[in-house]
Structure 1
Amino acid sequence: MDPILSQLSLSLNTARTIDQLIRPVLEMLGNITGMESTYLTNIELGQGLQHVRYARNNGEMQIPEGLSVPWEDTLCKRSLETGTLSTNQVSTLWGDSAAARQLGIKSYISAPVRSGDGGLLGTLCAASVHAVTISAETETLLQLFANIAANFIEREMLLENLQRANAKLATYALTDPLTALPNRRALFDELERLLAQAVRTSSSILVGVIDLDGFKQINDRHGHQAGDDFLQAIAQRLQSGLRATEMLGRMGGDEFLFIGSGPAWPGGGAPGALITEGEPASAARALQQRLSALTAGDYQLAGHRVVYGGASVGVVPLAPFGLHSADAVHLADSEMYVVKQARKQRT
């Protein structure tokens, strides 16, 4: 047993992942038992399935990785229920298993892989089409291997849970909770990336600020729930009208920000220069009309029908050279106020 324990100790010291641990363990298990197939499974009790996660085959019998079988038909389940760790008379003891008959299994040994609280994670197994005598020492080693595998699997599960939690936190940090749109931080990050890309490709960028005229009156007249419903409905309408290369987010309050790539602009320009001619200027005007039209219409807000004439939208085409995101937003904001004042005068 000493050479096996030395080999196991080496694997434990060098393995950083479950894959790096289990493959040597399966090879050791095959050498110890003399069986053709050794494998580690995971079990989904809720779905009634057992999956072969890792397998080593060295002989006549082949148990493929990724194989899924009904849990009710497995030798693992029968072994757990009867407390029989090993047998070389599978056909006599568990002849009702269709999977065992199909594979021609005569000898079998299995140990449960359990979590710290006793939950069943899977099984560590060896099987053979030949009659193999299993010693008590081999059964002890198998259980040791299964316990070590359980520790690695639990560590892997913990790491995956932490990664998912971190991903959720990152998403929350970049998302406006009311509208589910990107928030101010996400918008500025993307705008910086877009500016750098526009410099490399000699193209313009389009930045638009959308301010919801009359939002305070909606809140005052119909209540804050109606105001929240309105912000969500506006976000959905604007989002539905975006193209793949465009991004919309909520800056805060009743103000939204649009950013997107514009037409080519090889002429350079001073930092923060507005483009007043050519394709970028035409694209900005068309975008301003598109965004404004998306916001106008009828809204059902907290049981009230509200006819909304549209938001004040200011869109500017900008040369990206030497431009920072805050300056770009300031230029778009100034254009939006020009539009707002013009709308007030018409009213």
Structure 2
Amino acid sequence: MDSQLNTLARSVSNASNLEDLTRSLLRLVQRISGLESIYLTVVDKEAQIQRVLYAENAADLTIAEGLSVPWKDTLCRRALQEGRFATDDVPGCWGDSMAARQLNLQSYVVVPVLNEDHSLFGTLCGASTIKTEVSEEVVELLHLCAELISHQLERERQADLAESRASYAEARLSQLQMITEVSRICLAAKRLPDAIIQITDILSKDLAWSHITPVLVAGTELELLRANGDHEEALRLVKQMLSSDEKQIQLIIENQLEPLIWGDADTEAQKMIVVITSDEGVEAALVVQLDTQKLPCTDSMKLLNGTANALSLLAARLADHEQLEAANQVLEHRSMHDVLTGLPNRRYLIEALEDKLVQAESLGTLIYTAFIDLDGFKKLNDEHGHDVGDEFLRAFAARISRVMRGHDLIARYGGDEFVFVGEGSADGDPDKTGKQIVERIRKACTGRYELPSTELDYAGPSIGIIHWQAGDVMDADIVLARADTAMYADKQARRKPTN
């Protein structure tokens, strides 16, 4: 007996899994009991099936592994119900059993194998076609083996549970890392399409879906951001989304808790659409092709929800930034341009002239600056009113703008004063070039003006022009002051009567 116990101890200590343990125990029981077949079964109570899991056969009796029979017709079930664990007279006990007659069974023994919660896992059985006495010691040995198998089942269940928890924890950590990376990308992103492409690559690592197709919504146009996946289906679904009930779309946009997953009854099981919105409407969508073998778990859905929230916040931020940039550009333009004429104002003029002087200094070119004063403008205002005066200023600005060339600049300096700035080559006669500029401006601005409210003739402005060359004082205010002085000289000359 000590030898048998040692064998049993070695079987338990050396077994790495249920099969190794069970096969060792079956061989041991068979050697001790003298029965031809010893086998372990598993019982599926829901399906009412008993299946042979592992078997040890000898002599002529063979119980095949994998054999399945209806549970209600088995000797195991009848023996357990009767509390008859062993017999050497099967025909006398269960003579009506078709299986027992076919196998010509004479001796039989069975003990239950229980789960940790005492539910039935299966049975540990022995059978023989030869009349064999089954002692109480053999029955006790079978009970002991059944307990060992039960403990192994529980160990493996715990190991599977631990592995499952570890896999879940790893997947959860991976998803947390994904949503962290999604948040980082959204915080740093300057463009929504770039962020969506990067995030699509990250989400593709999740095993709950086979692939994700990103689609950008630009007005009424749909742009595929990546050439993969079922593009035709992606487009169809997104178009279907966009053509759905406007109230439902608006609900998605306004619902801050769940702005997220869209699916209709026909396609929800295969595909989902992650809707990305801003206050302006739907900005983009991710068409998610689900893994057909499994539905996404709660954490995968949370990952999609978190992604949709992050991208929607990014879309809203970029939309706000775009509006702010546009407003800033309007403000910047207004701060640098005259409201009435639309021409650059004094501030713009000073900055532009400073830049032109620096550039001309390095290139050795000339800068021509003409100061223009609208003679008779006060009288025009007094006689016709300020509205007509404003009409005249706008018409004057339009005329002089039409004769500007290349990099010429015309600005409203203030009131009825304008300034021209042009560039010229150091070759040639600068005085002659200056006169040509003055003549061009005066010709464009002199003559009849057909204004919205009246018509009038204008004799032209006073114009003083100077040229600046490398080596002169690089100060815009000084250059303008000199041009202003030249303008007053021209004004005085125009007032002198001609002989």
Q: CA deviation at 1:263?
A: 2.0
**What aligned pairs does 1:1-20 form with structure 2 within 5 A after superposition?**
1-13=172-184, 15-17=187-189, 18=192
Separation in structure 1 between the aligned mates of residue 288 and residue 242 of structure 2, nearest angstrom: 11
Partner in structure 1 of residue 146 of structure 2: none
> Alpha-carbon deviations, 1:15-43, whole Å to 9, x = none?
50046643342123323343234314336
Q: What is the percent sequence identity of the aligned residues?
A: 27
Separation in structure 2 between the aligned mates of residue 172 and residue 141 of structure 1, nearest angstrom: 46
Partner in structure 2 of residue 74 of structure 1: 240
The alignment's TM-score, normalised by the length of structure 2, stands at 0.56
Note if 1:208 corresponds to 2:370: yes
* Amino acid corresponding to residue 326 of structure 1 in structure 2: D
Partner in structure 1 of residue 201 of structure 2: 27
**What aligned pairs does 1:176-195 form with structure 2 within 5 A after superposition?**
176-195=338-357
Q: CA deviation at 1:245?
A: 1.3
Q: CA deviation at 1:114?
A: 3.2
Considering Cα pairs closer than 8 Å and 6+ residues apart, tell me whether 1 or 2 has the greater RCO.
1
Flag the 1:89–1:302 CA change in 2: closer, same or farther, 3 A.
Answer: closer
The alignment's TM-score, normalised by the length of structure 1, stands at 0.78
Separation in structure 2 between the aligned mates of residue 291 and residue 85 of structure 1, nearest angstrom: 65
Q: CA deviation at 1:251?
A: 0.3
* Amino acid corresponding to residue 25 of structure 1 in structure 2: I
Partner in structure 2 of residue 272 of structure 1: none
Separation in structure 2 between the aligned mates of residue 167 and residue 343 of structure 1, nearest angstrom: 42
* Amino acid corresponding to residue 418 of structure 2 in structure 1: F
**Unaligned 5+ runs, structure 2:** 1-171, 253-260
Flag the 1:305–1:88 CA change in 2: closer, same or farther, 3 A.
Answer: closer
Flag the 1:50–1:70 CA change in 2: closer, same or farther, 3 A.
Answer: farther
Note if 1:111 corresponds to 2:237: no
SS of equivalent to 2:404:
coil
* Amino acid corresponding to residue 7 of structure 1 in structure 2: M
Separation in structure 1 between the aligned mates of residue 460 and residue 235 of structure 2, nearest angstrom: 59
Flag the 1:85–1:212 CA change in 2: closer, same or farther, 3 A.
Answer: closer
SS of equivalent to 2:210:
coil
Q: CA deviation at 1:346?
A: 2.7
Note if 1:42 corresponds to 2:214: no
> Alpha-carbon deviations, 1:119-174, whole Å to 9, x = none?
5443232247x856433523343222111110111111122222222222111111
Separation in structure 1 between the aligned mates of residue 242 and residue 350 of structure 2, nearest angstrom: 55
* Amino acid corresponding to residue 158 of structure 1 in structure 2: D
Partner in structure 2 of residue 226 of structure 1: 388
1:134 aligned to which of 295, 314, 331? 295
2:438 aligned to which of 288, 295, 312? 288
Note if 1:301 corresponds to 2:486: no
> Alpha-carbon deviations, 1:200-236, whole Å to 9, x = none?
1112110001111110111011110010001100000
Partner in structure 2 of residue 103 of structure 1: none
Partner in structure 2 of residue 169 of structure 1: 331
The 8 Å contact of residues 182 and 249 in structure 1, kept in 2 or not, is answered as yes
Separation in structure 1 between the aligned mates of residue 332 and residue 492 of structure 2, nearest angstrom: 38
Separation in structure 2 between the aligned mates of residue 221 and residue 332 of structure 1, nearest angstrom: 30
2:315 aligned to which of 141, 153, 162? 153
Flag the 1:207–1:62 CA change in 2: closer, same or farther, 3 A.
Answer: farther
Separation in structure 2 between the aligned mates of residue 227 and residue 11 of structure 1, nearest angstrom: 60
Partner in structure 2 of residue 335 of structure 1: 486
* Amino acid corresponding to residue 352 of structure 2 in structure 1: E
* Amino acid corresponding to residue 309 of structure 1 in structure 2: A
* Amino acid corresponding to residue 457 of structure 2 in structure 1: V
> Alpha-carbon deviations, 1:47-66, whole Å to 9, x = none?
x44444x4473xxx3649xx
SS of equivalent to 1:346:
coil
2:287 aligned to which of 125, 134, 142? 125
The 8 Å contact of residues 209 and 288 in structure 2, kept in 1 or not, is answered as no
Partner in structure 1 of residue 477 of structure 2: 326
Separation in structure 2 between the aligned mates of residue 150 and residue 20 of structure 1, nearest angstrom: 14
* Amino acid corresponding to residue 424 of structure 2 in structure 1: G
Separation in structure 2 between the aligned mates of residue 205 and residue 118 of structure 1, nearest angstrom: 49
Flag the 1:78–1:178 CA change in 2: closer, same or farther, 3 A.
Answer: closer
Flag the 1:40–1:232 CA change in 2: closer, same or farther, 3 A.
Answer: same
Which deviates more, 130-139 or 305-314? 130-139
Aligned residues: 308
Separation in structure 1 between the aligned mates of residue 446 and residue 280 of structure 2, nearest angstrom: 59
Separation in structure 2 between the aligned mates of residue 318 and residue 190 of structure 1, nearest angstrom: 15
Separation in structure 1 between the aligned mates of residue 200 and residue 491 of structure 2, nearest angstrom: 72
User: Could you list the runs of 4 or more consecutive aligned residues of structure 1 that deviate by over 6 angstroms after TM superposition?
Assistant: 68-72
* Amino acid corresponding to residue 109 of structure 1 in structure 2: M
> Alpha-carbon deviations, 1:287-338, whole Å to 9, x = none?
0111111110111235221011111111112224242111111111111111
